[in-house]
Amino acid sequence: MDIAPLAHSLQTGDRRSLARAITLVESARADHRAQALELLQAVGNGKQALRIGLSGTPGVGKSTFIESFGLLLTGQGKRVAVLAVDPSSARSGGSILGDKTRMERLSRDPLAFIRPSPSQAQMGGVARRTREAVALCEAAGFDIILIETVGVGQSETVVAELCDLFILLLAPAGGDELQGVKRGIMEMADLILVNKADGDLKPAALRTCADYAGALRLLRKRPQDPPGYPKAMTVSALEQDGLETAWAEMQALADWRRAQGHWATRRGQQAQHWFTEELRRGLLAVLEVEPTRGIVAAEGQAVAEGRSTPEAAARQVLALLHRA
């Protein structure tokens, strides 16, 4: 494959080229990998989109939200890309964005680009693939990148280290009903949106919103938050209600962070985070190769059963590796 023309047509904003480029960075083949690095080098990192992470468990109406919110943005002339971080889809063989039929109108919008998550099992791989897809979308001139996650496993951490704003989407809960918010996700949220604030569910949505607003107040303030943030709000993706207000909040928060220098600082920290992650991953890869992998598993079992101590077992494996 000739990389220079692909890089060029991608930078003009051509969606087919963007799709081909993402397929390239997703490939595990060594020759594809080399081409992918060449491509990323060629397109550079001169353009920045607003990266919005969106987390929500199944049933909160995430697809409807992305459809409505995405159309609101494209209606304002913004170019919107939607990516998914979903390591679990590799297990089920499916993709949380499905075949795009769940976002029919947005997927037909010429200003939008929707990319389902690939079938790829390894979390490190998912992180790198998403990070590179984000870079390609920015190079293609998209204004806003929505990065969707179902918030299982470590995917929310990946998204938090990739995005400028993190949105948690919730459904109304009745009374003492548990929302099942994954421990740790609430802490990352810049904005909590309680969806389905329409019809019969509206009172429950308002109550749920008040509960979360209360819970947010119990958390320590972060330096990257202006007074009053993180916020909880109600929206109805179905009735397109509250979405403009939510978008105004996101813009206000992003503008504040840009003005205060938090934006640039955070982007730099995120890049350093991924550098460190890649480095660690490269060094620890030796543990995934046989015979070490089997030895680590056996020693781990011995430790779990109390037949060995963590220190003694680790010493043994390290000694084996240093002899090799």
Q: What's the closest the beta carbon of residue 269 comes to a copy of itself, in angstroms?
A: 7
CA separation for the pair 32, 96 (Å, rounded): 25
How far are the Cα atoms of 22, 27, 43, 47, 279 from residue 37, in angstroms, in the given order? 12, 12, 10, 18, 16
Residue 112 bridge partners (DSSP): 80
Would you count residue 300 as binding a copy of itself (CB under 8 A)? yes
Dihedral-angle region of residue 51 (phi above 0 means left; psi in -120 to 50 means alpha; beta otherwise) = beta
Residues 138-177 that bind a copy of itself (CB under 8 A): 176
Q: DSSP string spanning 121-157?
A: --HHHHHHHHHHHHHHHHHTT-SEEEEEE---TTHHH
Residue 263 touching a copy of itself (CB under 8 A): no
> Which of 49, 84, 181, 193 forms a contact with a copy of itself (CB under 8 A)?
181
Count of CB atoms within 10 A of residue 59's CB? 10
| HSE toward the beta carbon, residue 136, CA cutoff 13 A | 33
Task: State in angstroms the smallest separation of the CB of 105 from a copy of itself.
Answer: 33
Q: At closest approach, how far in Å is the CB of 132 from a copy of itself?
A: 8
Residues in binding contact with a copy of itself, number by CB under 8 A: 60
Q: How far is the CB of 92 from a copy of itself (least distance, A)?
A: 20
Is 129:25 a contact under the CB 8 Å cutoff? yes
Of 142, 140, 188, nearest to 164 (Cα)? 188
Alpha-carbon span 252 to 324, nearest angstrom = 56
Under 8 Å CB-to-CB from 72, ≥6 apart: which residues?
240, 243, 244, 247
**Which of 40-48, 79-87, 104-112, 247-255 is the region at the interface with a copy of itself (rule: CB under 8 A)?**
40-48
Pick from 58, 59, 214, 226 the residue near a copy of itself by CB under 8 A.
Answer: 214
Footprint of a copy of itself on 267-296 (CB under 8 A): 268-269, 271-272, 274-284, 286-287, 296
Instruction: State the minimum distance, in angstroms, from the CB of residue 205 to a copy of itself.
Output: 14
Told to check if 182 binds a copy of itself by CB under 8 A, we report: yes
For residue 253, what are its two tokens? 């928060």
Binding to a copy of itself in span 92-121, by CB under 8 A: none
Using rule CB under 8 A, residue 310 touches a copy of itself: yes
The stretch near a copy of itself (CB under 8 A) out of 10-18, 70-78, 140-148, 314-322 is 314-322
Distance, C-alpha 83 to centroid of its chain: 8
Choose, by CB under 8 A, the member of 211, 238, 241, 247 that binds a copy of itself: 211
Q: Which residues bind a copy of itself (CB under 8 A)?
A: 37, 40-41, 45, 128, 131, 176, 178-184, 186-187, 211-212, 214-215, 217-222, 268-269, 271-272, 274-284, 286-287, 296, 299-300, 303-306, 309-315, 317-318, 321
